Structure 1
Amino acid sequence: MNKGIYVITNRKLIQEGTLTEIIESGVKGGAAAIILREKDLDADCLMEIAIKLKEKAKSNTSLFIINGNYEVAKLAQADGLHLSFNNFMSFQEEFDGILGVSVHSLEEAKLAEQNGANYLIAGHIFETSCKEGLKGRGLDFLKKICESVRIPVIAIGGISEHNISNIMNCGAYGAAVMSSVMQSKDPENYICSLRHKLNL
């Protein structure tokens, strides 16, 4: 697992350029991992994008992770598979790579670790445009999770240059960002600036 910035894709948020261009730029900026999360696509379309993005990720040693689709993750030989908590708890397939799980409570975090998760994405920490009207769970929530599990915890939700050092002070292993990168005019420099705040 790489420490740092985890970029989650959402092609519908892109205002300029293509998903491939944004990921290429983000990888140049030193993204620790790219998580391909395009829930509306069928397996064939997802696979097509996966092949392109994996190539970009590998050009700079970023991890390449598929969200929610075991078959595509296996066929694309992705580094990791990321699942929702419920899907992870019922997941019975063999997967050689990293298994990540989204958690929204301390109980979920502990259960995910006990059942073999390699890392957690915990959130949402701050208010975010992706979850309008929902209050963030806050830094205390994040700190409790980081103190209660031994596996890496990646924080998500409203993370920016202004608050990223706070999540790392809670013990987080990194930060997951989506809308801010997808809508950035310069993902490379944006991720560089986030990494700079982490002294990475």
Structure 2
Amino acid sequence: MDDGFNPVEVIAGDAACGLVLLCDHARNCLPAEYGNLGLGEDSFRRHIAYDIGARDVTVALARLLGAPAVMTTYSRLLIDPNRGEDDPTIVMRLSDGTVIPGNHPISASEIESRIERFHRPYHAAIDALLDAMLARGQVPAVFSVHSFTNLWKGVARPWEVALLWDNDPRFTQPLLTELRATRRFTVGDNEPYDG
């Protein structure tokens, strides 16, 4: 089914800048065929639907730095692009205490349809951008923008800015140093999640 809903938003930017911006949970929208998944509109203003403010930050960074960006246009309540295809939480049935009626129950064929129509196109857009840069001999830094709620399951999250990273500290450590030096933010290093 093609209802004209494009699951991916791309800002072309200048690949020569060496940076690629991603925003997995940029929007709180759903294709019309899914209605509101049985939820009230207030649920789509909460963090369960998207990373509040993350799209605005991604767009601002892309403009400021001239960097290309790839963002989703759909709510993570439909399918979570930040999960592997075999992850049982790729379609959430329950999020922060809220049951998602349109996802519970859900058939394997519906999950596969959502993967094919929404999840794969997003990852294909990322792969195409990275492949093009690598083909030109560029190894880009990939910076994925997220936001998180300041309270999760009764536990406070005091960080105003956090960098999540894994094996390579070359990009994150200088940025962490600069952020801490401003003394304007409570800065998290792999908080509230481990990169």
Normalised TM-score (structure 1): 0.25
Larger fraction in helix: 1
